Structure 1
Amino acid sequence: MTPDAGYDVRATVGEVEFARMMERYRAESVAAVAGLPGRAGLPYDDSGEVLDVWGTGARPRPVFVFLHGGYWRMLSRHDSAFMARALADHGIATVVPDYTLAPRASLEEIVRQVRTAVAWIHRHGPEHGLDPARIVVGGSSAGGHLAAMTAVGGWQEPLGLPPSAVRAVLPVSGLFDLRPLVRTYVNEWLGLDEARAAALSPLLRPVEPGCPAHVVVAEHDGAGFLDQAARFHARWPSELLTVPGRHHYDVILDLADTDSALTRALLNLF
């Protein structure tokens, strides 16, 4: 097997299905937020990046922060709010940040930005109907990696946050050890070496028992993603969910279904 084989997930579904899924992300996100209470385009960082808040109510609500995938180089918050209405029905607000895409930003900078978005929720969330004491962070694919990077320790105190700033994480088809990517086509835009890849790998960081995870993969996910999920689950305080009949791109859309196993896993984290 070539280094690319386990991580070229677009090849597992084909170009037609990939394009269809990208269209579904945008269309279902637009439909989910239509008429939903919230605020769009709120700056959270000096980088100029912004976030959207959806599904707020009369009282501060628990928060699901969703970090989009796209191998750190594509997609945006506009493609990533498809769960907002389903979660609002359960009394949960959804926050969807943008982050600067690679290669315009380094992966270290992307990680910094998403952590800053969490810090923004702690400082300004109550102004927008968000409860900073009940934040769960999730993400798909590259977003799963970023979600896990908010679970590890060492970054909260410099931003003035408590160690429990993130109560739990939901990485879906995530990446937790970036060292294998150094030898793949993905490194064309990441530009990582082994040392930087290791430093950016949540699997290699000390375990934070106070931040549980529900680690999710699709039955027909890429081989590299299945392996990484199993390894992260074995090391982190977590549950492992393999969603039958789903592939790398459609599994995350189950969050738009209030009765799906994925949505139930998320609700359990609250």
Structure 2
Amino acid sequence: MTAPASAPWTLLAYGSEPDQVAEITVPPDAEGPLPLVLLLHGGVWREPYDRVHIRPLAAALAATGVVVANVEYRRVGGAGGWPATFVDVAMATDTLPDLIDQTGLARVDRSAIVLVGHSAGGHLALWSTLRHLTAPDAPGHRTTPLAVAGVVPLAGVVALTSFHGTSPDADTVARLMSGDPVAVPDRYLAADPTLLGAPECRVVLVHGSEDEAVPVQTARDYAAAHDGVALVELAGTGHFEVIDPGSTAWPAVKAAVREAMARPRP
């Protein structure tokens, strides 16, 4: 990363487990209700990869005048996997706006909440906006859509089942879901955005054309299948540039977040 590794933040618990926390960064001299970004890191859902590596992006987003919640969640290899990882993300995205208000850290503009996630975090961010489409007994199920303006998956795994079948990380997907798509099909139906559809909020996919970890074709297919889903494809960009505020991808990422906040879904 070519940006500072962190900005001043406050640790806020959204649950009782050690990983059920978020780092809240508030822009300096902030006044009035502020937009909120709920940021979900990647790392193929694995325990060794936590929120620390995405702090530069959190700091850069906060510098644009938004509150940022850099969300941690339980992961594969620790206490995570099915259903804990999904329970955590659901709990975080459901409760953090209220918790930020209640603790006095900032006042949140409820009309300008956006989920942003990278790679596996992009999968979880998009999934969280689709929970009203899951079965009533699925982890994190909602009876109503999540009240957010939009979601921005950065190099997101939008096709979980396909990722299992084609990625070198297929074993991690099976460990995340505690089974493969043949063994536990209902779980994939509840967790794969491609199988669930598109949310009611604005979706802006940002993906590099040279991404070797998560092929851009999955983003192209998802955008083509759903009206109102926008794809920003960055030529010559790989998997990690989209979370580096010092890269040439940063202006497009910043613009995508603003677009998701400002524009209703067509």
In structure 2, the residue matched to 1:16 is none
Q: Distance in 1 between matches of 2:22 and 2:35?
A: 16
2:232 match: secondary structure: strand
**Gap change, CA 1:268 and 1:106, over 3 Å in 2:** same
1:231 paired to 2:221: yes
- Structure 2 letter corresponding to 1:70: G
The SS at the match of 1:233 is helix
RMSD: 2.9
Residue identity opposite 1:165 in structure 2: A
Matches of 2:117 and 2:74 in 1, distance apart?
A: 16
Letter in 2 for 1:145: H
Tell me if structure 2 keeps the 8 A contact 1:150–1:166: no
Using the TM superposition, name which of 45-54 and 135-144 deviates more.
45-54
The structure with more helix, counted as a fraction of residues: 1
Structure 2 counterpart of 1:262: 253
Aligned length, in residue pairs: 239
Amino acid of the residue matched to residue 264 of structure 1? A
CA shift, 1:64, in A, is 0.8
> How many angstroms apart in 2 are the aligned matches of 1:257 and 1:266?
16
- State which of 134, 143, 151 in structure 2 corresponds to 1:169: 151
Report whether the alignment pairs 1:71 with 2:44: yes
Q: Among the aligned pairs, what percent are the same residue?
A: 23
| Residue 50 (structure 1) aligns with | 21
Match of 1:252 among 243, 246, 257: 243
Seen in structure 2, the aligned counterparts of structure 1 residues 160 and 86 have a Cα distance that, compared at 3 Å, is: same
Question: When the two structures are superposed, what TM-score results if normalisation uses the length of structure 1?
Answer: 0.77
**Which position in structure 2 is the counterpart of 1:111?**
86
User: TM-score under structure 2 normalisation?
Assistant: 0.78
- 1:256 is displaced (CA, Å) by 7.7
Structure 2 contact 203–229 (Cα < 8 Å) conserved: yes
Equivalent residue of 1:123, what SS?
helix
One-letter amino acid of the counterpart of residue 186, structure 1: T
Alignment pair present for 1:144 and 2:122? yes
1:186 to 172, 185, 188: 172
2:108 to 131, 153, 160: 131
Q: Distance in 2 between matches of 1:116 and 1:256?
A: 32
Contact 1:93 1:130 in 2 (8 A): no
> How many Å separate the matches in 2 of 1:124 and 1:219?
38
Structure 1: distance between partners of 2:196 and 2:4:
33
- For the 8 Å contact 1:178–1:200, the answer to whether it is kept is yes
Deviation at 1:213, TM superposition (A): 0.7
Distance in 2 (CA, whole Å) between partners of 1:125 and 1:257 is 32
Alpha-carbon distance in structure 2 between the residues aligned to 1:124 and 1:130: 10
String of CA shifts for 1:111-130, please: whole Å, max 9, x gaps.
22112111222321213204
Separation (CA, whole Å) in 2 of partners of 1:214 and 1:177 = 15
Tell me how far apart the structure 1 counterparts of residues 230 and 45 of structure 2 sit (CA, whole Å): 25
- Give 1:220 shift: 0.7
State the alpha-carbon separation in 2 of the partners of residues 76 and 238 from structure 1: 28
Query: How far apart, CA to CA, are the structure 2 residues paired with 1:29 and 1:65?
Result: 20
> What is the CA distance between 1:144 and its match in structure 2?
0.6
Contact 1:178 1:198 survives alignment (8 Å) = no
| Aligned-residue offset at 1:161 | 8.8
Is 1:177–1:198's contact at 8 Å kept on the other side of the alignment?
no
Aligned partners of 2:158 and 2:194 also within 8 Å:
yes
